Structure 1
């Protein structure tokens, strides 16, 4: 079935379901307002999954539908808030980081870091794959997965063009390692992927647990650190890279050499970026005690201010970052999606829909908590192959919060499990833009993507509950 046909069906089905759910006899235990919130929620989930309308635009539909269906209005009657959630604080973390990311790209700092890792890691096929994984995973911690993939794929393709047919396995391993590493690396930090800020916002509003930059490092970084070497070994064995002779990486070395010495813009970008990283990591431990109202968003906006204020060439009025560069690099789609997710999640909770759904699922009470979290991870990892991970998180987390509280399982564990597993989109192009970009190179087939991705998905599903319970909640004691 073609994508356009799926969108048409999704459009019709979504509207019909909203009307049926919103105006049928009100189910027992649910208010009329809750019933209509549920209808709009189902419409948005169907539209998100089928992309019946562009995902960010779907996130704006509550502005139209909530007042029309009597759910809320500009003044927030019925206690269901609307407009304020589109300006949720985490949105401005993405805005501030956009200026830092734009500065990196403007001056080529991201290329210097990535090419430096690849060109210096060695020319053995196994270490070459490791070089690509480390370079992309590291860059994906600080910029979008898609940008990290687009940046490194040309390097991989240039090296691949020098290899003969006997090195098909290595060529495929290089190309596939890039989108996979971008996904895995993006888990490590709050700003590494859209999923993280979306989920963090929903967790705070749903169960009152605040997660800052350092807190997320305790959650995401251990997973990335554990999974990267397993991923490397798996890719080397799957494509039999360990049995291949040394390869020529002179292209990567030449590109790195051509960059020349660091320019003034690169140096200032690196200084500001490292300064912000230090502030993010130390806020809750050190300086946040003296500035209790400062947040991660404060640090991000400080970074944005510095790159806009520091001159590279004062006489010509050139600064580290200009407004156009910074503005264009802000992930506006993610900002709007996050706002729409917060509107839906809060309405789901405030209208009593989350509690109603939780009561329906109360029969799960008594099942082993770890098993439930694993089941959540498996279901999420399947669905995330068909739509973007941020959409899965936006749709699932409000429900999981209520279900966890109703059945006596840690809502935080269930919600984090969903957030982590939503990134295990390794098998199909629609799962994540990096997958689609890598598939579009023509170097890999759908069979390569599905068979290799399945193995990595299984490894990830085995690893995530162990890391979550024994490292995040065990060693670090991170619990609700």
Structure 2
């Protein structure tokens, strides 16, 4: 939503770097309001400390699951492939919020016995009231589209329709693939979009003897250019759900960023990315199919 802020609340670059500039009365009043609201927060509470600890624990578990340079804790579950994933960690930490008490043990007024009032950090009633179900369905629908496209062979069918692209110059193939991915990611989640297009573009690159990374890298980057519509990604949906923005406002703010993003990706993949990823040569790890081995 940075594009919305830039469009509706433009900042002057000159003013941004004038650190010693005298603040206006409006800026001073705004700073005072922010300071007052900050003081109202008070000191950090016990539930906030527990939430911070759980968040740090989740981050550590994510990084140590399979760091690559050393065996991670996921190696303990080799007999159960797919058991230890990032989703496993997220669900485990989320479950702890329903178990860890929201209050510490406290003594009664006579100072002898201990009163135990067990209330978890999050109750199911609070979860049902605060959970943005429409966003969960939106993201889950994206994953469902991805799996459905793979199981139903929709990806293979689209790949067969795109075979004429092999006769075009490589840069034009990359440009067309970037435009397609950028368009589809506006109505589907990033994982769904890339899951649909990677099985399509990889065989296309192999068929014309082009390094698959030459096409896959820019296409993957373009899946993040979801700036136009509320269904493009959860942050867009969250902001749009408040009702203060129209779809046309989001389109105006995101269209220019989409164009700039595709242009930057094209510039990068046609210049410094070539020597960086050795894109000019067909890699040894790419398969040699019957279509590209010749007669």
| Correspondence 1:344 to 2:148 | yes
Q: Cα distance 1:275–1:241, how it changes in 2: closer, same or farther (>3 A)?
A: same
Residue of structure 1 equivalent to 2:53 = 271
Runs (5+) with no aligned partner, structure 1? 1-131, 134-171, 178-234
Deviation at 1:254, TM superposition (A): 2.3
Residue of structure 1 equivalent to 2:173 = 372
Does the residue aligned with 1:388 lie in a helix, a strand or coil?
A: coil
Does the residue aligned with 2:180 lie in a helix, a strand or coil?
A: helix
Deviation at 1:415, TM superposition (A): 6.0
Residue of structure 1 equivalent to 2:292 = none
Identify, as 1 or 2, the structure richer in helix: 1
Residue 303 (structure 1) aligned to one of 93, 97, 110: 93
The answer (yes or no) to whether the contact 2:143–2:192 under 8 Å persists in 1 is no
Runs (5+) with no aligned partner, structure 2? 106-115, 279-284, 287-295
Alpha-carbon distance in 2 for matches of 1:274, 1:251: 31
Alpha-carbon distance in 2 for matches of 1:400, 1:436: 30
Once the two structures are superposed, the pairs formed by residues 13-92 of structure 1 within 5 Å of their partners are none
Residue 363 (structure 1) aligned to one of 158, 164, 179: 164
Q: Cα distance 1:467–1:320, how it changes in 2: closer, same or farther (>3 A)?
A: farther
Alpha-carbon distance in 2 for matches of 1:335, 1:361: 27
Does the residue aligned with 2:89 lie in a helix, a strand or coil?
A: helix
The answer (yes or no) to whether the contact 1:404–1:410 under 8 Å persists in 2 is no
Residue of structure 1 equivalent to 2:37 = 255
Alpha-carbon distance in 1 for matches of 2:238, 2:269: 25
Deviations 1:319-352, CA, capped at 9 Å, x for gaps: 2222233455265313641453144223332xxx
| Correspondence 1:284 to 2:83 | no
Deviation at 1:302, TM superposition (A): 1.9
Alpha-carbon distance in 1 for matches of 2:95, 2:87: 12
Structure with bigger RCO (C-alpha 8 Å, 6+ apart): 1
The answer (yes or no) to whether the contact 1:175–1:438 under 8 Å persists in 2 is no
Q: Cα distance 1:274–1:372, how it changes in 2: closer, same or farther (>3 A)?
A: farther
Does the residue aligned with 1:334 lie in a helix, a strand or coil?
A: helix
| Correspondence 1:333 to 2:137 | yes
Once the two structures are superposed, the pairs formed by residues 392-411 of structure 1 within 5 Å of their partners are 394=192, 397-408=195-206
| Correspondence 1:388 to 2:178 | no
The answer (yes or no) to whether the contact 1:362–1:407 under 8 Å persists in 2 is no
Deviations 1:43-71, CA, capped at 9 Å, x for gaps: xxxxxxxxxxxxxxxxxxxxxxxxxxxxx
The answer (yes or no) to whether the contact 1:430–1:436 under 8 Å persists in 2 is no
Deviations 1:3-34, CA, capped at 9 Å, x for gaps: xxxxxxxxxxxxxxxxxxxxxxxxxxxxxxxx
Does the residue aligned with 1:310 lie in a helix, a strand or coil?
A: coil
Alpha-carbon distance in 1 for matches of 2:261, 2:51: 34
The answer (yes or no) to whether the contact 2:201–2:215 under 8 Å persists in 1 is no
Deviation at 1:427, TM superposition (A): 4.9
Q: How does the TM-score come out when normalised to structure 2?
A: 0.61
- Alignment: residue pair count: 241
Deviation at 1:371, TM superposition (A): 4.8
| Correspondence 1:456 to 2:257 | yes
Structure number with greater Rg is: 2
